[in-house]
Amino acid sequence: MSDFSKFEKEIGVTFRNKDLLRQAFVHRSYLNENPGMGISHNERLEFLGDAVLELIITEELYRQFPEKPEGELTTLRAALVNSKMLAEVALEIGMNDFLLLSRGEARDIGRARQFILANAFEALVGAIYLDQEYLAAKEFLLRTVATRLPQVLANKLYQDPKSRFQEEAQERVGITPSYEVIREWGPDHDKHFVVGIYLKDELVAEGEGPSKQAAQEEAARLALTAKSWD
């Protein structure tokens, strides 16, 4: 079993139930190759942690911005709790070193790893909530996620990436970007799309997602980085 004492020190939380902490790192794929490990995967913890995360960040934004309407608070929250942001936080606190993945998943360090890290972070939040209750989860999230708020505001990350890229493209090069589905696969209940974002004939970036809309948003986010417009 991994020694989590250094990790616990890093996040400022010492677990009473170490199995809860360990479970937060177990990806479903790992159990397929290690069925007898005696611990479940992290998806139920992720489900709980997602709700805890949303409540605490919503509460903090409500407190910090008494003048902002619901729509603006919603976009700020989305910028703080999206998979990209949560994966960045997870990497910073060292979660990648403890992930339990199948051999195939362990080799993938691209977009799929980002989702796995973000989901594991939500599972960790759920584990903290179960082990030490609401205030401990709140203190952890205020230190790790809410502190990203100045970055979100300064870089306008609260704006939809498609809107941001279109605004930048029209202002900088006088072109309205277009999107095109490059690949799609999977059954109807588990579709995947790769969408390209173009400036005229220039393919700026490709984004992948479970819907065309999600793939377009990812493509726009990557295009902002590719053009150094972010």
Q: Is 34 annotated as a binding residue?
A: no
**Cβ proximity of 198 and 177 under 8 Å:** yes
Q: What gap in Å lies between CA 109 and CA 197, rounded to an integer?
A: 23
Residue 119 counted as an annotated binding residue: yes
Catalytic residue list: 50, 122
| Distances in whole angstroms, Cα of residue 181 to Cα of each of 166, 169, 198, 207, 211 | 18, 20, 11, 10, 11
Residues 48 and 137: their CA atoms lie apart, in Å, by 12
Alpha-carbon distance of 100 to 38, in angstroms, equals: 14
CA distance 152 to 146: 10
Give, as one character, the DSSP assignment of residue 187: -
161: three-class secondary structure by DSSP: helix
Which burial class, exposed, middle or buried, applies to 29 when counting CB atoms under 10 A from its CB (0-12, 13-18, 19+)?
middle
Q: Are 83 and 118 in contact (CB under 8 A)?
A: yes
User: 167 labelled as ligand-binding?
Assistant: no
Instruction: For residues 7 and 71, give the distance between their C-alpha atoms in angstroms, rounded to a whole number.
Output: 37
Instruction: Cite the annotated binding site for Mg(2+) by residue number.
Output: 46, 119, 122
